[in-house]
Amino acid sequence: MQVFRLCLKILKKQIPSMLIYIIIFLAIALIMSSATANEQQQDNSFTRAKSNMALISEENTPLIDGFKQELGKVANFVELPDDHEALQDALYFRSVSYILRVPEGFTESFMQGENVQLEKTIVPNSISNTYIDLCIDQYFNTARLYVQQMENISQESLVQYLKSDLAVGASVELKTVSDQSVNHNYANYYFNYLSYSLLSVLILGMAALMLVFYDSELKRRNACSPLSSKSVNLQFILAILVFTVLSCLIMVTFCILFNFKNSLNLNTVYFIINSFVFAVCGAGISFLIGNLVKSHNAIPAISNVVTLGLCFISGVFVPLELLGNTAIKIASFTPTYWFVKANNQIAELTQFGFADVEPIFSSMLIQIGFALAFFAAALVVNKKRRFD
């Protein structure tokens, strides 16, 4: 096992440079861990957001006072002067998104059953204003029913009825299809970022290994050794496999340690399988680069260009949802895209039937196809170098 031990010694010398990527990766993982923990705590509760609005009333009646109290459930009231320019400026600078005016005589006309309208000025296409409109419609539509059905009802009695009716709410409980309630956001982000660190480590180690073994002096010396070329190649392949598996295993282990409580499920198993599939593909990329590179100084530069380029375009650093259609089409020709896509699908799994996991295995098979293509290209380059 002389060749195998030599490979381990060469890789050992690359540990300092590889540790840089591992430490950066783990630091990002820890930051994501704390951010995801806060996100999980916030997911357990719901708080209605209030919009800023100005309410300008030209009359002061019990009905309008009750209306203002009810409207306060969905809006924050901002005091503004009743000046056209000041109100327009408030809308322009988004100090408020909704201005509601109650005209003089509104209450009297409403209590007599007349069809009267409030005056509103809003920021166009503001979704938050929809809640205010719903609240206004609900209040006065309910009030109109009382006015129509109860003759001579006083404003004070009407406000009390409305307060009682509108206080009734419905409880809402969200349930998933299965009993699974584990949040996989952390594992999803972790394994997506793993592609950057793992690929960097594999390129640094494998390229350094290939440079040494394809040194012309060493090749001549190995040709004179009693070891057969078959034995040398087998030991070399074994060293590459051990290096690839150990690199992936170390990073996967840290994920389980950082997120142990949410890791004991089938989703994590699929995350790990997908990671080892990508590691094989990464080994193919590294093997190809190792056959092309001719200088130790070029290895870090090539590693950064390849890993950062793949990660930026494939959804690692920038979510796929934010990428344009053209960028996604280009990214689909890279293995990192299919690795990230599989991770995103795994994170959403709640059922594990064949129909549910089939898209994930399809993405894994595409990665294996990329791996075979990279290894084939590397062998062609290797054969060409052998005869140069």
Per mean pLDDT, which of 35-39, 203-207, 373-377 is the most reliable?
Answer: 373-377
- What are the CA-CA distances from residue 289 to residues 98, 202, 311, 382 (Å)? 60, 10, 17, 11
> Which CATH number covers residue 69?
3.40.1710
Rounded to two decimals, the pTM is 0.64
Domain boundary pick from 131, 166, 201: 166
pLDDT grade, residue 276 (50/70/90)? very high
Can you give the pLDDT at residue 364? 93
Q: Name which residue leads in pLDDT, 133 or 28.
A: 133
Cα 371 to its chain centre, rounded Å, is 26
Work out the mean pLDDT of the chain and round it to a whole number: 82
Same domain, 119 and 82: yes
Question: Which of 237, 236, 202 lies closest to 219, judged by CA?
Answer: 236
pLDDT for the residue 176: 54
> What's the distance, Cα to Cα, between the start and end of the chain in Å?
29
- Judge contact between 296 and 211, C-beta under 8 A: yes
pLDDT in tens, 134-154: 889 999 999 999 988 888 889
pLDDT at 114: 87
**Minimum mean pLDDT among 20-34, 104-118, 202-216, 341-355: which range?**
20-34
Q: Tell me the per-residue pLDDT of 64-77, one tens digit each, with 9 for 90 and over.
A: 999 999 888 888 99
Do 124 and 239 belong to one domain?
no
Q: Which helix (H) or strand (E) holds 55?
A: strand 51-57
What is the domain extent for residue 65?
A: 51-166
138, 166, 194 — which closes off a domain? 166
Question: Among the three residues 166, 197, 226, which one is the final residue of a domain in this structure?
Answer: 166
Is the domain of 155 the same as that of 191? Answer: no
